[in-house]
A = this chain, B = another copy of it.
Amino acid sequence: MNVSVLTIGDELLNGELSDTNTAAVARRLAAHGYRVRESLCVRDEMDDIVAALQLMADRRAVLIVTGGLGPTADDLTAEAAATAFGRPLEENPAAQEEVRAYFLRHNLTMHPRNDKQARLPVGVEILTNRLGTAPGFRLDTGHCDCFFLPGVPTEMVAMLDEAVLPRLERNHGEGLPTRERVLKVFGLSEPKCEALLVAAGLPEKVQVAFGVDFPFVHVKLRASGSEAETLLDRTEPVARRALGDFVVATGDASLAQTVARLLTEQRKTLALAESCTGGWIAKQLTDLPGASAFLERGAVTYANSAKRDWLKVPEAVLETQGAVSAECARAMAKGIREAAQADVALSVTGIAGPDGGTPGKPVGTVFIGLATASGEEVKGYRFSGDRDTVRRLSVCMALDRLRRYLEKH
């Protein structure tokens, strides 16, 4: 079934904000087998909204509208719907109840302006908004089932799940849901992934799509229909084998989550010594609840004094090889592992730029050390890109080195 989306708001058309609601609606609808056919965005202008509502309601069986349900003067959606579909505004008692209940639940005093949010076209069905003051509503024009939702993404998404999708299934039947498995790959290019999967010969009914979330390639396996899950259960291991140990995570998980899971499962502790990544590895790991189970400590050793004091990097290494060297990365990994008495340790030292490069060690030169009970292993890299890219690649490469070690031990 084809669905149209209409998003409303000046902020979406003056460059302040990108519209994320269309993609959020599309993702949820696709999972239930409905297809967003087009999306229109207009400003907070009465005539534009009225014309857009009529245009879109004329085209498809279902229309999802987001935005313009708030209490302020530039919130025009309810009035525009009244005009577009010849349904005068009225005080909607159910909507009044919803708005009042919201304020009561949150111990807030209701501003008289919030009354406006209960003035809705006649004959609409109210859609509860658990997370905000603006109730949504459903208006059936006879040709088009129109759902009006607030523009705030968290409220909109919750209402989509709780109020819109159940009604779509009830009124329009279930779609042909598409199921998806995502494999996240680090270290192989998109064409290389494609070639490996072609060679592996996946079932024809499984669609393969690629996406890039730099520096990761997302391989998406998709199937529709009642046997989608079975088909994907059978296909996923084939795809994994084809991509080998370059698969770093699955589904919504990240590389950092894979590393955290492996450390936790193996009851190993970790220590970090970061120079050019400046705490970003530690930040990614501590984003995750439960990081205290494995992260003993991290050092952001920007100055040489910190490398000497805390990591026991020998003065001679700093003087002869410099802070950006394989020897320094080795000493850092060894030093932090011993200081923390951790099972494993990672070290990163490099030149992220834009300044600090030399002919022998240009910007992008990075050394990553991994220390374990069996000693230290250091590799040198030359990443290209700006400061953010070099740092990002360093973080991912370090975590990936650790992942590969943990998967073998």
A residues sitting closer than 8 Å to B (CB atoms) are: 11-20, 22-30, 35-43, 48, 52, 209, 211, 272, 274, 276-283, 285-287, 289-292, 295-303, 305-306, 309-310, 339-341, 353-355, 387-388, 391
Contact = CB atoms under 8 A, between A and B. Distances in A.
B13 A17 contact: no
B283 A280 contact: yes
A339 B306 CA distance: 9
B18 A12 contact: no
A20 to B, nearest CB: 5
Contact of A306 (B285, B301, B340): B340
- Counting chain B CB atoms within 10 Å of each CB, the highest count among A27, A38, A302 belongs to A302
Contact of A272 (B23, B52, B280, B300): B300
- Counting chain B CB atoms within 10 Å of each CB, the highest count among A16, A19, A24, A297 belongs to A297
Interface of A is mostly: mixed
Number of copies: 2
A309 B339 contact: yes
9 contacts: A16-B27, A19-B19, A37-B43, A39-B41, A277-B283, A278-B285, A279-B283, A286-B391, A295-B300
A18 B22 contact: yes
A19 B16 contact: no
Contact of A310 (B39, B310, B354): B310
A302 B286 contact: yes
Contacts of A13: 22, 26, 35-39
Given A43-B38, A289-B354, A339-B309, A300 B302 contact: no
A30 B10 CA distance: 12
